[in-house]
Amino acid sequence: MKDNRTIETDMAEAPPAELLAPLNEPITDSGKKRILVVDDEVSATRLLKLNLEQTNQYLVRTEDDPRKALAAAAEFHPDLMLLDVLMPGMDGGDLASLLLADPVLKSVPIIFLTAMATKTEVHRRAGRIGGLPFLAKPVDLNEVLACLKRHLDAPRS
């Protein structure tokens, strides 16, 4: 695995055969952290899923329709959710509000992914927007992994 790569630029690499299973395969109790990625950019979420699962630390489910994300989260029981900000039908902020209002899902950490902010803006805002952490797209895999570790290791409220 290369360092300092961005998710959008590594589309040419062929994923290992074992990672080509259906995106919503049956969930097994593997001890891996469950990550739900909600983003309407299907190719970017597929690549993020493949890269995260390749670490053998995460089980990732993707949802490209934010209106189906609440049901997907209730079914999948994620340990953390990555939400795009700009999506058709419902933006990430509105989706986050619904997730935070759900008694079961409200303690699941949410991290926004957005192309609306630059890396400089992320730094200037101390990595938070609307009280929640965010990363600027295109995301660097090492940056995502560090962010996941930081927020998965934090105590839940």
Residue 126: which region, alpha, beta or left (left: phi > 0; alpha: psi -120 to 50)? left
Q: Which pLDDT value is given to residue 157?
A: 58
Q: Which pLDDT value is given to residue 14?
A: 45
Give the angle subtended at the CA of 73 by the CAs of 150 and 38, to the nearest 5°. Answer: 70
Q: Which pLDDT value is given to residue 18?
A: 45
CATH number at residue 75: 3.40.50.2300
Q: Which pLDDT value is given to residue 25?
A: 46
Measured CA to CA, the distance from residue 40 to residue 33 in angstroms comes to: 22
Is residue 15, in this structure, part of any structural domain at all? no
Is residue 116, in this structure, part of any structural domain at all? yes
pTM: 0.76
Is residue 60, in this structure, part of any structural domain at all? yes
| Domain count of the fold of the chain | 1
Structural domain boundaries enclosing 143? 32-153
Mean pLDDT for each consecutive 10-residue tract of the chain (157 residues)?
Answer: 46 44 50 96 94 96 95 96 92 92 95 77 66 84 93 78
Is residue 108, in this structure, part of any structural domain at all? yes
